[in-house]
Amino acid sequence: MEKLLIEGGHPLEGKVQISGAKNSAVALIPAAILADSPVTIDNLPNISDVETLAELLEEIGGKTELDRDTLVIHPENMFAMPLPNGRVKKLRASYYMMGAMLGKFKKAVIGLPGGCNLGPRPIDQHIKGFEALGAKVTNEHGAIYLQADELIGSRIYLDVVSVGATINIMLAAVLAKGKTTIENAAKEPEIIDVATLLSSMGANIKGAGTNVIRINGVESLHGCRHSIIPDRIEAGTFMILAAAMGKSITVDNVISDHVESLSAKLREMGVMIEEKDDQIFISGSNNLKPVDVKTLVYPGFPTDLQQPFTSLLTKAEGSSIITDTIYNARFKHIDELRRMGANIKVEGRSALINGGSTLQGAKVRASDLRAGAALVVAGLMGNGVTEITGVEHIDRGYGGLEEKLKSLGAKVWRENITGKELEEIQNS
């Protein structure tokens, strides 16, 4: 087990290259199950979730070849192997195995997904969609059993705007008979990315990126080559740390439209931001203004940036309020920020940040992926050394993080956790 150490307080400068989007990758890999011939996915992020999903595809009889940021998936010999336990529990996105396996084999058994603990994360809308397409869905001993004689297109209205449900229903519907309409669909760029891959495989999908998606089922899907869009959350994380500590930072390989809600808030705080082609230039400021932020579905401010943005707000002189309307318990980073001297109160779904004082390095624990990102930002901002445990959460979503930070001039390194410290973590 490792921990990440950061000596804070050093100004950052230079250029950082953004990887392919994690939340696209974790849907695109299962989507390949639907094809009858090899699918090649380029621009993959170097993260543990990608490895876990490739291993899951091998468990169901697929062959995968991962070479740097390219994954070739051979789906020809895949079968409906039940996956009630094991790797599926490691990440939330294993729920996409449900839609893809149901679509292809008309049956699947998938253990209820793991992933970040952000409070209740039901999958009722996914199930509502599968049932509308004609599947019988039961929950037995913590695994979801799905079975259909045939899948027939249907009209599905999502009661909650859900990224996962929108993608999962698309996966199940592309090989169903007839027409499926998903109403009140999520509009995140990752949904368009998945629809683009499925279309290249021969699917007939219209309206991805709007709140009504129309799918006409086809008989079969073939292999193709697809390059993943840049990760807007990784880009946003680097924009936030650039705002906090950057003399002048270029975020390269970013679609500026995808981070518009963040750019607007940073500008409101007094950060200088310029956009040109696929690059964003940011100069940080020591005179940040406080702002109020509410997370919303895309194109609103993303919940996934709420946690790192909270760290930044501790630097702004005065009071800021950050409200998470998507998850009601995504505040586990706040206790850790308090250990570093932050003055933050949580009331219901809101965090009240009284900013202006410099954070102090401390021993902290990342409880989930974006909490980890928040602590990395805080560690870079703080005086002295911050030690972050729970690094495995960060590795699920940020590939090559240390190298990227080091290239900007950050003092960051890893150490093995041993002895008493390891015992304490294992017993906690």
Closer by beta carbon to ligand EPU, 93 or else 101: 93
Provide, rounded to whole angstroms, the least separation between the CB of residue 127 and ligand EPU: 7
State the burial class of residue 428 (Cβ atoms within 10 Å of its Cβ: 0-12, 13-18, 19+).
exposed
How far, in Å, CA of 162 to CA of 140, rounded?
A: 24
Provide, rounded to whole angstroms, the least separation between the CB of residue 310 and ligand EPU: 14
When CB distances to ligand EPU are compared, the closest residue is 164
HSE, CB side, 13 Å, CA atoms: give it for residue 114.
15
Active-site choice (34, 101, 116, 405): 116
Closer by beta carbon to ligand EPU, 151 or else 186: 186
Closer by beta carbon to ligand EPU, 108 or else 116: 116
Nearest to 191 by CA among 216, 175, 172, 210: 210
Provide, rounded to whole angstroms, the least separation between the CB of residue 330 and ligand EPU: 8
Closer by beta carbon to ligand EPU, 234 or else 290: 234
Q: Specify the residue for token string 């965090």.
A: 351
Edge-to-edge strand ranges of the sheet holding 107-111 = 107-111, 143-147, 136-140
Q: Beta-carbon neighbour count of residue 142 at 10 Å?
A: 10
Provide, rounded to whole angstroms, the least separation between the CB of residue 163 and ligand EPU: 4
Binding site for ligand EPU (CB under 6 A): 23, 26, 92-93, 116, 120-126, 160, 162-165, 186, 233, 303-304, 326-327, 369-370, 397
Contact at 8 Å (CB) between 71 and 44?
Answer: yes
Provide, rounded to whole angstroms, the least separation between the CB of residue 354 and ligand EPU: 26
Cα–Cα separations (whole angstroms), residue 197 to 39, 42, 164, 175, 391: 9, 11, 16, 14, 31
Q: How many residues does the chain have?
A: 428
How far, in Å, CA of 330 to CA of 264, rounded?
A: 23
116 is catalytic: yes
Closer by beta carbon to ligand EPU, 35 or else 98: 98
As annotated, the active-site residues are: 116
